[in-house]
Every structure is written in structure tokens, then in C-alpha cells.
Amino acid sequence: MLFDSHEILAKAKQGDEIAKGELLNRFRPYLNVIAQRHLDERLQSRLDYADVVQITFLEAARDFDHFRGDSVESLLAWLRNILRNNVSTAHQHHLAAQKRSARKEVTLRVSSESGGSSLGMQDMVPSESSSPSQRMMRDEASVVLATCLEQLPETQREAIRMRYLEGMSLKEIAERIAKSEMAVAGLLKRGLRTLREEMANRQNGISA
């Protein structure tokens, strides 16, 4: 997937607007996952993570000429930085309105980027201390994972996100989505099975 993206990146850097749009859109699922992890839960009723991602894409499209990288890995790092700045701005704007200390109230959960589940969901963002080859492999796996995750039914996707990205227990998830723990376990089982199958298909070149 990233190999093909390198070719699109080259066209985008040459001024091809269609290629630029296709390139940025390709990584929307990846940024959606990161935005969901970083956005403070208290803002969810007032601010949709997809809106933060959309702002990030608009800024990236506007400032693309200033992007000096020549690889997809450097592009993803650039997009993550823009996204984090927008999340931080959203936190400061909305939480400061409540007259509380942003430093005490805002939790970006960056520290949770270490560790991981069997599908590597906690490792969606590569460590800056990783080698270039390690970052490339992590980026590719993360983009594929995020893309496959968005293909799941919403209830399965949310259950997986809360379990493996937020670290919530079955009981906590059940209370959040108003279902029994057995129902949540079923959602996770079906979702993970479908997710693994979809990832395997993509890695084998079956899916587009």
C-alpha cells in the first residue's frame, strides 16, 4: 500500500492536485484512529474527532508546498504533527472555556502509544527513536490496520477501539454502549475475526 503511495506522493509534489487529494484521503482512516485516541473524552459531545481530522486535511492541503519530505513515512509524521497541534488547540479552546487548568485537565495519552495488542493497535504511532526501516514497517502496518478497521460495522469498530486503544474492560464497554458483557464479547470476537481476515486479504493483494 505504501509502495503505491510513494508514486502518488511524487506526483503530488510535482503539483498534481488530484494526486494530492488522493494521497491525503488515503491516510484519513489512520488519522481518524489517532484523533480518537488523543481527543479528550469530555469533548466528544461537543466536538467530533472527524472534524479535527478534516481541519488537519485542509491545513495539509493548504500547506503541502511547504512539506519538504520525500517519503510517505515523513508525510505521515508531518500529518501527525498537524493533527496533534489541532487536538491541542481544541483542548485549550474547549476546556479553557470551563475555566480549568488546561495542563491539569488535558490528557493527550501520548504515553499510551507504547505497548500493544496482538494486532498492534497500541503501536499506531511509531517511536521517533525507531530506525527508518522500523518506522516504515510500522507505518505500513498501521495504515492497513486503520483502513481495515473502518470497514467494520460501527458497533464492532467501537468495541475494538474501546477495548484495545482505550484499554477499557468488558464491563466498562458494556455500560458505555448499553449492552451485556456477553454481547460485547461477541462484538469483539466477530470484529477481530473480520479484521484479521481483511488484513490478511490486503497483505496477500486480494483487496484493493
Give me the domains of the chain, ranges plus CATH numbers.
1-109 (1.10.1740.10), 151-208 (1.10.10.10)
Q: Name the most confidently modeled range: 43-52, 107-116, 117-126.
A: 43-52
Whole-number pLDDT of residue 116: 39
Amino acid at 12: A
Report the percent of the chain where pLDDT is more than 70. Answer: 70
Burial class (CB in 10 A: 0-12, 13-18, 19+), 143: buried
Give pLDDT tens digits for 68-108.
898 888 999 999 999 999 888 887 776 665 544 434 433 33
Q: Residue 150 to residues 17, 95, 104: CA-CA distances in angstroms?
A: 25, 29, 32
Give the three-class secondary structure for 53: helix
Report the percent of the chain where pLDDT is more than 90. Answer: 25
